């Protein structure tokens, strides 16, 4: 009887320890998520308040941070009765614009935009960006290239000195499906590092972009001092490459939401 009691006690304490450490971990995970979401929200809000005015055409980026920007934009359009046309950079952005009852435009009717607001996976000291972590980069780059300003909104984890310091998943490159192997080989031979085909989640096989293409993630060598403008140009010239997630010399201003509730802005030198 005694032995059985001890066994039960031990099992009980083991289970108790297991569940309490699980709850502690999930509690700290949700605190981090809350802090990141709050940082995204305040950055998005400031950017929308400072860059959107009546009668403007705004490019709407993709990702999780842009959701906060669209929410704020919808609030302002409603309360201030603004006339704003929104040009999406992805299927997700299009849905956000429609769900928030904003006015949907496109590049055929509005080939010149006042501003594009978008997120980023990493922003280095020169305001060179890595984008495409969520599979959207080509339409983002096209829309940004048509805008007078590209305004980036991000939480504090996206800020880095050099690309690759924070974002470890590599540089996304959108490719025509039949070309993914030769493009991977050429990038590896030219620059080194590792290139992987991005696989879909909840679907067998590769991820397919909004444009019907594949994404390669290039984990570039971090021990070399890569010159991003020339890297971008070289990769873009490889037949089969549609676009890279490297945004060089395009950023007008970055809004970083910080953990203390403030927003730090950075502009090109």
Q: Please give the positions annotated as active site.
A: 140
Nearer to ligand R5P, 156 or 192 (CB): 156
> In angstroms, what CA-CA distances link 102 with 45, 60, 61, 150, 154?
16, 11, 14, 20, 23
| Size of the chain, expressed as the number of residues it contains | 269
Nearer to ligand R5P, 61 or 88 (CB): 61
Nearer to ligand R5P, 61 or 105 (CB): 61
Please report how close the Cβ of residue 158 comes to ligand R5P at its closest, in angstroms. 7
Please report how close the Cβ of residue 216 comes to ligand R5P at its closest, in angstroms. 14
Nearer to ligand R5P, 71 or 192 (CB): 71
Please report how close the Cβ of residue 88 comes to ligand R5P at its closest, in angstroms. 12
| DSSP state string for 106-123 | -TTT--SBSEEEE--SEE
Q: Which residues contact 8 (CB under 8 A, 6 or more apart)?
A: none
Is the C-alpha dihedral spanning 231, 237, 239, 242 positive or negative? positive
Copy the structure tokens of residue 111.
């080939």
Copy the structure tokens of residue 92.
């997700």
46-85 burial string, b = 16+ CB within 10 Å, else e? bbbeebbeeebbbbbbbbebbbbbbbbbbebbeeeebebb
Going by the DSSP 8-state scheme, the letter that residue 225 receives in this structure is -
- Which residues bind to ligand R5P, rule: CB under 6 A? 61-65, 118-121, 131-137, 140
Of 72, 84, 74, 79, residue with least CA distance to 48: 72
Nearer to ligand R5P, 82 or 146 (CB): 146
- Taking CB atoms, the residue at the shortest distance from ligand R5P is 63
Please report how close the Cβ of residue 89 comes to ligand R5P at its closest, in angstroms. 8
Please report how close the Cβ of residue 77 comes to ligand R5P at its closest, in angstroms. 21
Q: How far apart are the first and last CA of the chain?
A: 77
């Amino acid at each position: 009887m005694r032995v059985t009691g001890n066994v039960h006690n031990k099992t009980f304490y083991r289970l108790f320890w297991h569940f309490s450490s699980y709850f502690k971990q999930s509690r700290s995970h949700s605190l981090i998520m809350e802090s990141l979401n709050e940082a995204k929200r305040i950055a998005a809000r400031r950017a929308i308040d400072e860059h959107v005015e009546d009668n403007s055409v705004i490019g709407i980026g993709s990702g999780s941070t842009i959701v906060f920007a669209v929410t704020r934009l919808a609030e302002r359009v409603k309360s201030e009765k603004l006339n704003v046309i929104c040009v999406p950079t992805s299927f997700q952005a299009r849905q956000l614009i429609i769900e928030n009852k904003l006015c949907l435009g496109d590049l055929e009717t509005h080939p010149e935009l006042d501003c594009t607001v978008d997120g980023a996976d990493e922003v280095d000291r020169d305001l060179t960006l890595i984008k495409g972590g969520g599979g959207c980069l080509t339409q983002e780059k096209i829309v940004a290239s048509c805008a007078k300003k590209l305004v980036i909104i991000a939480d504090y984890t996206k800020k880095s000195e050099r690309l690759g310091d924070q974002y470890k998943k590599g540089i996304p490159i959108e490719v025509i499906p039949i070309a993914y192997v030769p493009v991977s080989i050429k990038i590896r031979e030219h620059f080194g590092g590792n290139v992987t085909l991005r696989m879909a989640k909840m679907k067998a096989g590769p991820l397919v972009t909004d444009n019907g293409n594949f994404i390669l993630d290039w984990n570039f060598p971090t021990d070399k001092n890569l010159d991003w403008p020339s890297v971008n140009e070289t990769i873009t010239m490889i037949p089969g490459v549609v676009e890279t997630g490297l945004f060089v010399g395009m950023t007008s201003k970055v809004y970083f939401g910080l953990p203390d509730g403030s927003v730090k802005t950075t502009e090109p030198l």
